[in-house]
Amino acid sequence: MNNIKTAAIIGGGVIGGGWAARLIENGIEVRVFDPAADTKAKFDAVLANADRAYASLTNAPRAAKAAVSWHASAAAAAEGSQLIIESVPERPDIKRVVYAEIETSAASDAIITSSTSGIMPSELQAEMVHPERLMVAHPFNPVYLLPLVELVAGNQTDTKYIEWGKTFFAGIGMHPLHCRVEIEGFLSDRLQEALWREALWLLHDKVATADEIDTAIAYGPGLRWAQMGTMQTFHLAGGEGGMRAMLAMFGPCLKWPWTKLMDVPELTDDFVNEVGGQCEQQAAGLSPRELERIRDDNLIAIQRALKGNDWGAGKTLARYEAQMMQAANDD
């Protein structure tokens, strides 16, 4: 399991496409299955975005890109694959059907990872023949540029696969984070959801527009979060007293009604239209592809700028470049 040459991608959406881009960039052949008729064009657009992004992300020599092939079923894609990445919709029933299909053709020691954003792996693996080789490997959009991947074991997962994942995902330029306790939403999405829920309330209550809410992040706290999380941010803001001083100063505010703790806005058609409409307005007429390119340019610029610095994703990029240069020299 230490030398993956062929991987299957089940579900060719934004996440599946992003996984494929990262894998072929690192010389791993990809076998895709998606039941939807229109998937391939979108999938290819993700690959094109990724190819463009990698060309400017790194100065290191790039490996020869591996091939992508399309297959008629999950079983066909899984056949001969040492790693099978599931990126289908967030419904346990759909995912379980997919695992059953995969297990009809996959080698018994093929590793299966779910890209789920928050469903517990124990639930996903419950009906599998070989549940010990299923784990969550949760990436972040765009998968080809963001380094984080959360690794989560279910109660039947063999922990050797977590150890394998730490090495494998680091090898394709990622930063694996082992979520040691299995909880719904894992770590990153719980944090993201907390922010999103509050953002939706602010918009719902007409306190601010989508654009004002985003400005409140991107021009301030967001610049800190690109290099460090909430805990270290507040530890520094506390001056000499660090986090202890911050807890003394702002801890009581956590109990004030500063956020809508008790409830979530009802997603009525009107509200969805309001939120969707404001986000479309914010996009100022740019197409999804154009928006993605601006985002990618910024993500590349930030990671390059942080390269070799002491904190965060810049370290991951520096390590990955060193590894690519080593590989090129070894050839």
User: Which member of 56, 59, 155, 192 binds a copy of itself (CB under 8 A)?
Assistant: 192
Return the number of the residue (104 or 259) whose C-beta is nearest a copy of itself.
259
Q: Which of residues 85-114 bind a copy of itself (CB under 8 A)?
A: 89-90
329 binds a copy of itself (CB under 8 A): no
| Segment interacting with a copy of itself (CB under 8 A) among 77-85, 94-102, 123-131, 280-288 | 280-288
Indicate whether 310 belongs to the interface with a copy of itself (CB under 8 A): yes
Tokens describing residue 267: 């997603």
Q: How far, in Å, CA of 325 to CA of 322, rounded? A: 5
Closest separation in Å from C-beta 165 to a copy of itself: 15
Return the beta strands (E) in the chain as ranges.
Answer: 6-10, 29-33, 68-70, 83-86, 111-114, 134-139, 148-153, 175-178
Interface segment toward a copy of itself; rule CB under 8 A; list 2-10, 76-84, 125-133, 273-281: 273-281
- By CB under 8 A, residue 44 contacts a copy of itself: no
Positions 205 through 264 that interact with a copy of itself (CB under 8 A)? 205-208, 210-232, 234-237, 239-240, 242-244, 247-251, 253-259, 261-264
Contacts of 149 (CB under 8 A, 6+ apart): 137, 138, 139, 140, 165, 169, 174, 175, 176, 177
Judged by beta carbon, residue 96 or residue 304, the one nearer a copy of itself is: 304
Residue 180 in contact with a copy of itself, rule: CB under 8 A = yes
- Which of the stretches 51-59, 80-88, 125-133, 281-289 binds a copy of itself when contact is defined by CB under 8 A? 281-289
191, with CB counted inside 10 A (0-12, 13-18, 19+), is: middle
Q: Which stretch binds a copy of itself (CB under 8 A): 80-88, 106-114, 124-132, 196-204?
A: 196-204
Q: Does residue 35 belong to the site contacting a copy of itself (CB under 8 A)?
A: no
DSSP helix/strand/coil, 6 = strand
Q: Give whichever of 240 and 331 is closer to a copy of itself, judged by the CB atom.
A: 240
Q: Minimum Å distance from CB 4 to a copy of itself? A: 22
Q: How many residues bind a copy of itself (CB under 8 A)?
A: 120
Length of the chain: 331
Give the Cα separation of 167 and 323 in Å (integer).
13
What DSSP string describes 296-323? HHHHHHHHHHHTTSSSTHHHHHHHHHHH
Per-residue interface string for the shown chain with a copy of itself, residues 285-304, x marking contact by CB under 8 A: ---x--xx-xx-xxx-xxxx
C-beta atoms surrounding 5 within 10 Å: 12
Among 67, 69, 184, 322, binds a copy of itself (CB under 8 A): 184
Quickly count: other Cβ atoms within 10 Å of residue 35's Cβ. Answer: 12
Please calculate the CA angle 240-313-199 and round it to the nearest 5 degrees. Answer: 75
Three-state SS at 216: helix
